[in-house]
Structure 1
């Protein structure tokens, strides 16, 4: 284990450079294109921020391309806070990424539905 500082925010972090497959960063999906010029580590918060910024570009693509991209990440039941969901008032709010990985719409009007059913209908009285 090596003590490093995040190259983006300077937060202290522990990196397992001797066994990179056992490092904390391997808990995250390999969504980002491989950066062969990278020479140091980012902390979890900065890594998630970079992944989410990349996904924002993915979300600008047609839905079919988004689904095809997310398909390779299906099958992982490991939900990651800040990527698959955020916590709001004690509730898990699933992200577009979560729904794309799932691959289908439940048509319940979920907040971040990428399939076009995110309009929550309020009952009329």
Structure 2
């Protein structure tokens, strides 16, 4: 079986690397994307198992990316974790995402939750 793939869509370099490390530790291959417009381009050809999506991004924002993903059937099985410093604002997207993570997010928390999203994970 192929290793599950995750996008880390986060404009802050340090946070993106932190998130990438936790997801890799959980068992995912990862790709960091720092810009919303770049994310939309990548999503035209890639269908990751998990997307860690920041709400506030340069270029297309997280809301635009989320709506694009959820309107495309290719992503029906893709899990989405939305990250934001604004928990209340992120809460508006609760029905469209699998998890809302309010920054700061702990390494252990992200790794544990991501492990539960692996294709063969037991609940």
Q: TM-score, normalised by structure 1?
A: 0.26
Larger radius of gyration: 1
Q: Greater relative contact order: 1 or 2 (C-alpha under 8 angstroms, separation 6 or more)?
A: 2
Q: TM-score, normalised by structure 2?
A: 0.26
